[in-house]
Structure 1
Amino acid sequence: MWRSAVACVVAGMLAITLQSCSTIRNLSEGVTHPMTPDESKAQVINAAREIIATLGLKGVSGHFSRDSCNDQAVAPFRGIVGLDYDHAPTLEASQAEVQQMVSTLKQHGWQGPGDFHTHSPAVSRQGATAVFDAYSPVQNAGGSITIYGECRDMTTKQNTVPEPIPPDQLA
């Protein structure tokens, strides 16, 4: 009789274990080393802080959002930080400024963007990619840096609207 009880307990534990493994596998869906939402946010905020400090940017403001890494707006997601700063006043000066920023960051350990595809100047480090947009007076746009994190957040359920980052979090 006790063998029957032990067998039932073992069978139950085995079922729970297999179900847990299945749940974990379904959550990660092929993403190596999934991140939590907090980890994906920290990844891009830390990269933003490093860029601001290394480049000595002035008049910086930023916003954070999460975005799906696919067209279906489902996991995986990544954190994104957009930075605005006091940029050069002309297109030519801003383009030169961006080239200097990229060069400075490369001197401090940032590298080419790897497999991140963009037509803008970009550098990557520790899974974060910074894309530089020169200021265009004609369009009155640009003069910004967008930092994209890795596509490893399997917990987030939808894209989010950009929210301001308090200045003390960028210092």
Structure 2
Amino acid sequence: MTRLLTLLLIALALGGCGMSDSEPNPTARQTNSFDNSENALSDEQARAQVVDPAVQVVRAVRLDDVTGGFSFGSCNDQGEPPFQGRVEVAFKLPADPARTYAAIRDALLAQGWTSGAPAGQVVHGDSLHRGGVTATVGPRAADPGYGALQFYGECRNSGDHGSEGAVDITGQLR
């Protein structure tokens, strides 16, 4: 019985393994209009798409001990273009974080954001969107006692940002 169970587990573990073509489908890129260079966002546009709303929210809602960072994130598993701008704002949570989260949501809604994820996207947690940019707010998993406000821009930057790290934007947020 143990031997049969072992063989079954090995078969299940190896069942997903197989060869795959490492070259992407050449026609797949052509079907996404945002991959066309005339629709690409410059580095500055991709940055402004997420940094500007982060600054607006932090100025509208009093948050304690605010820090933030901007980075480019690849929109695929290969770490290749297209990239999106990403911002994470961390802030100290008060005793009643629900009121702070509600204040952030209200500030975003007042600035023209819509509740929920954009059509065709699945976002885990409380999210809002505006013009192709998604915002999420909730506890910061890596840092108990802190909240996180995250912005994800459109996957329209064709630069090569695979080896770049985050840039501190705390000064812009305060």
TM over 0.5: yes
Look up the match of 1:95: 98
- 1:122 maps to which of 123, 127, 136: 127
Q: Partners in 2 of 1:51 and 1:131 — Cα distance? A: 12
Look up the match of 1:74: 80
Q: Where in structure 2 are the equivalents of 1:36-75 lying within 5 Å?
A: 36-75=42-81
Give the TM-score normalised by structure 2. Answer: 0.68
Q: Where in structure 2 are the equivalents of 1:1-171 lying within 5 Å?
A: 29-30=35-36, 33-89=39-95, 93-112=96-115, 113-115=117-119, 116-134=121-139, 140=144, 142-158=146-162, 160-167=164-171, 169-171=172-174
Give the TM-score normalised by structure 1. Answer: 0.69
Identity of aligned residues (%): 25
- Alignment RMSD (CA, Å): 2.7
Where does structure 1 lack aligned partners over 5 or more consecutive residues? 1-24
**How far apart are 1:32 and its partner, in Å?**
6.5
Q: How many residues align?
A: 140
- List per-residue Cα deviations over 1:41-96 (Å, max 9, x = no partner): 1211111111112223332111111110111211110111110113224xxx2234
- The residue identity in structure 1 corresponding to 2:81 is A
Structure 1's consecutive aligned runs of 4 or more residues displaced over 6 angstroms after TM superposition are: none
Q: Partners in 2 of 1:149 and 1:160 — Cα distance? A: 17
Look up the match of 1:9: none
The change in CA–CA distance for 1:166 and 1:96 in structure 2 (over 3 A counts) is: closer
The change in CA–CA distance for 1:119 and 1:141 in structure 2 (over 3 A counts) is: farther
Where does structure 2 lack aligned partners over 5 or more consecutive residues? 1-29
Contact 1:135 / 1:142 at 8 angstroms: preserved in 2? yes
Q: Partners in 2 of 1:106 and 1:159 — Cα distance? A: 35
Q: Partners in 2 of 1:136 and 1:162 — Cα distance? A: 18
In terms of fraction of residues, the more helix-rich structure is: 1
In terms of fraction of residues, the more strand-rich structure is: 2
The change in CA–CA distance for 1:72 and 1:158 in structure 2 (over 3 A counts) is: same
The change in CA–CA distance for 1:31 and 1:94 in structure 2 (over 3 A counts) is: farther
